[in-house]
């Protein structure tokens, strides 16, 4: 009986310590970068959906937001790669592609959106 009680107490203490450790680790992780990326993904999906409709410029709003959010990448991840030139280059490349897409006409819209996707992938390949 004593062993069972010891075992149960041991398990309880272990569980409490594990939960405390997890909480501490989660609190330390900054939610901003992931949140920003997920919103950008959402806007890109919205823009792609709109591009399949005849009036492809319904996605102007999504592309404007994407352009604005791109400007936040450096705020959200200031030390990513100890802010180096390449990271900045990827950010400005994405920014240019987002502007180009918002100014493209309907026949070029899908291609412009594909180029945005490539600009996302370029940075993820090196930094994610």
- Among the candidate windows 11-19, 54-62, 99-107, 114-122, which touches ligand HEC by CB under 6 A? 114-122
Residue partners of 43: CB distance under 8 A and separation at least 6: 62, 63, 65, 66, 69
Residue partners of 12: CB distance under 8 A and separation at least 6: none
Among 6, 34, 53, 103, binds ligand HEC (CB under 6 A): 34
Among 41, 75, 83, 118, binds ligand HEC (CB under 6 A): 41
In angstroms, the Cα distances linking 109 to 51, 52, 106 are 7, 9, 5
x/- contact string, 48-87, with ligand HEC (CB under 6 A)?
A: ------------------x------x---x--x------x
Q: Are 87 and 80 in contact (CB under 8 A)?
A: yes
Binding site for ligand HEC (CB under 6 A): 33-34, 37-38, 40-41, 44, 66, 73, 77, 80, 87, 90-91, 94, 116, 119-120, 123-124, 127-128
């Amino acid at each position: 009986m004593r062993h069972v009680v010891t075992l149960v107490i041991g398990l309880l203490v272990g569980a409490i310590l594990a939960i405390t450790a997890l909480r501490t680790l989660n609190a330390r992780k900054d939610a901003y970068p992931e949140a920003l990326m997920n919103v950008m993904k959402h806007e890109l999906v919205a823009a792609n959906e709109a591009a399949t409709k005849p009036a492809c410029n319904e996605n102007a709003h999504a592309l404007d937001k994407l352009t604005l959010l791109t400007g936040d990448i450096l705020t959200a991840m200031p030390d990513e790669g100890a802010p180096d030139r390449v990271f900045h280059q990827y950010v400005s490349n994405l920014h240019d592609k987002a502007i180009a897409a918002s100014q493209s006409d309907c026949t070029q819209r899908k291609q412009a959106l594909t180029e945005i996707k490539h600009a996302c992938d370029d940075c993820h390949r090196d930094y994610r």
